Amino acid sequence: MTRTVTLVLVVHDHQPVGNFDGVFAAAYEDAYEPFLGFLETHPTLRLALHTSGPLLQWIALHHSDYLRRLRALVERDQVEVWGGGFFEPILPAIPEPDRRGQVRAMADWLELELGSRPRGAWLAERVWEPGLASSLAAAGVEYTAVDDAHFVAAGFERDALWGHYLTEDQGLSLKLFPIHRELRYRVPFEEPERTIELLRRVAEGGEGRIAVLGDDGEKFGVWPGTKRRCYEEGWLQRWAERLAENPWIELLTPAEAVARHAPLGLAYLPTASYHEMEEWALPPAAQERYRRAADRLEEDFGEDAHDLLRGGHWRNFQARYPESNRLHKRMLRASRALWHRAEEGDACWREARTRLWRAQCNCAYWHGVFGGLYLPHLRAALYRDLIGVETHLSGGEPRVECSDLDLDGDLDAVLECEASAAWVSTRGARLWAFDDRRALTNYGDTLSRRPEAYHRRLREAAVGGGAGESIHAAIRLKEPGLAELAGAYDARGRDSFLDRWWEGGGSHDWALERFEPRGRGSREIVLGALEGEAPSLEKRFALAPDGALEVTYTLGSSRARSGTLEVELNLGLHVPSADDRYVEIDGGPAEPPHFAARARHEGVTRAAFVDRYADRSLVISTDASATLERAPIETVSLSEAGAERVFQGVEVRFSFAAAIAPGAPWRLRFRLLPGRAEPCR
CATH code at 92?
3.20.110.20
Same domain, 64 and 168: yes
Say how far apart CA 142 and CA 136 lie, in whole Å: 8
The pLDDT tens digits of the residues spanning 80-132 come to 999 999 999 999 999 999 999 999 999 999 999 999 999 999 999 999 999 99
User: Cis omega before residue 592 (within 30°)?
Assistant: yes
Please indicate, yes or no, if residue 448 is contained in any of the structural domains.
no
Q: Are 523 and 400 in contact (CB under 8 A)?
A: yes
Same domain, 264 and 287: no
Say how far apart CA 47 and CA 496 lie, in whole Å: 51
Same domain, 254 and 279: no
Same domain, 474 and 586: yes
> What distances in angstroms separate CA 606 from CA 251, 495, 587, one per listed residue?
67, 20, 7
Same domain, 204 and 284: no
Same domain, 302 and 352: no
Please indicate, yes or no, if residue 538 is contained in any of the structural domains.
yes
Least confident of 425-434, 578-587, 632-641: 632-641
The pLDDT tens digits of the residues spanning 557-598 come to 999 999 999 999 999 999 999 999 999 999 999 999 999 999
DSSP state of 129: -
Q: Which residues pair with 541 in a beta bridge?
A: 525, 551
Does pLDDT of 340 surpass 60? Answer: yes
Domain that residue 598 falls in: 453-675
Q: Are 333 and 347 in contact (CB under 8 A)?
A: no
The pLDDT score that the predictor gives to residue 464 is 52
The pLDDT tens digits of the residues spanning 28-78 come to 999 999 999 999 999 999 999 999 999 999 999 999 999 999 999 999 999
Say how far apart CA 438 and CA 613 lie, in whole Å: 15
The pLDDT score that the predictor gives to residue 466 is 47
Query: 369 or 23: whose pLDDT is higher?
Result: 23
Among the candidates 269, 302, 336, a domain finishes at 269
3 state SS of 244: helix
Instruction: Place 462 in a pLDDT band, splitting at 50, 70 and 90.
Output: low
Same domain, 361 and 401: yes
Does pLDDT of 641 surpass 80? Answer: no
Domain count, the chain: 4
Among the candidates 397, 423, 442, a domain finishes at 442
Q: What rounded mean pLDDT belongs to the chain?
A: 95
The pLDDT score that the predictor gives to residue 467 is 46
Same domain, 301 and 408: no
Same domain, 414 and 540: no
Same domain, 630 and 504: yes
Please indicate, yes or no, if residue 680 is contained in any of the structural domains.
no
The pLDDT score that the predictor gives to residue 136 is 98
Same domain, 344 and 255: no
Which residues are marked as active site? 125, 216
**What is the percent of the chain with per-residue pLDDT over 90, rounded to a whole number?**
89
Does pLDDT of 528 surpass 70? Answer: yes
Instruction: Place 456 in a pLDDT band, splitting at 50, 70 and 90.
Output: confident
Say how far apart CA 237 and CA 172 lie, in whole Å: 42
The pLDDT score that the predictor gives to residue 457 is 82
Say how far apart CA 294 and CA 326 lie, in whole Å: 33
Same domain, 482 and 536: yes
Among the candidates 392, 420, 442, a domain finishes at 442
Please indicate, yes or no, if residue 656 is contained in any of the structural domains.
yes
Angle of the 347-358 helix axis to the 322-340 helix axis, nearest 10: 160
The pLDDT score that the predictor gives to residue 306 is 87
